[in-house]
Amino acid sequence: MSAGKDGIAHPILIGKRKKIEDELSDYKDYCDYTIIHAKDTAAALKITVDLVRKGETDAIMKELIQTADFMNMVVNKENNLRTGNLISHILILKIPTYHKLLAITDVAMGTYPDLEQKKQLLLNAVNTLKSMGFTDINAAVLAAVDHVNPKMPESVDAAELKKLYEAGEIPDCIVEGPMSYDLAVDKESCVIKGYKSPVAGDADILLCPNITAGNMLAKSLVFSAKSDAGTIIVGAKVPIRQ
């Protein structure tokens, strides 16, 4: 609703009309919005899909709907919301101790991405930041070490992703890896360890090796470091706020 007040978006609210009207009784003059009645969750999801198909909405935001039902709507091939690209989750963080916004992917959808999927995760994240106005984007491919160890597959993948970047297959950013978390976000650690890279201590994107590492990192930053966070799902026909 704040986006509507600021003229950024026109909210379309889908659900039981009476309940929505009651909830918004104190905000009826807050901004211009549209209510579409839906008798239940299934009906609300169908209406949402139809709006996307008709090009009548530019983004989807999940509210009081079970996450599983919501994501089934997104990935169901019959709904035709997919584009052929990998659908991925990006967490945007404002960390009190970091000098700029930081994007982490993927912390909620992809489980154990292979090399090609990691490439797609990076492309999705870079394109998202570009659409937000970011330039000179730095992407760090995380691992527990800053060198290739054949016994640590994530370090091998990180080095391969850097090669793909150097070959021009991951454009509009600088890709560095493998990198440990401290080297990606803390310039002092880079000085102490003698680590040199344009990405060192200045990352915009952190690519996590798997969902476990990503989820733990994200929740640590949110709940222990008191970071502000926003999420977006990209790769579908419209951006999705989970």
Domain boundary assignment for the chain: 2-79, 88-236
C-beta of residue 191 within 8 angstroms of C-beta of residue 210: no
Distance CA 83, CA 236 (A): 6
Write down the pTM of the prediction.
0.86
Q: Give the CATH class of 88-236.
A: alpha beta
Q: In angstroms, how far is CA 190 from the centroid of its own chain?
A: 27
**Cα separations in angstroms, 77 against 40, 116, 193, 234:** 22, 21, 48, 16
**Between 7 and 180, the higher pLDDT residue:** 180
For the stretch 195-207, pLDDT in tens is 999 999 999 999 9
- pLDDT score at 82: 81
For the stretch 107-154, pLDDT in tens is 988 899 999 999 999 999 999 999 999 999 999 999 999 999 999 999
A 10 A CB-CB count for 85 gives 13
Average pLDDT over residues 45-51: 90
What SS3 state is found at 124?
helix
- pLDDT score at 114: 97
- The candidate with the shortest Cα–Cα distance to 235, out of 125, 102, 156, 113, is 125
Torsion sign (Cα): 168, 152, 109, 130: negative
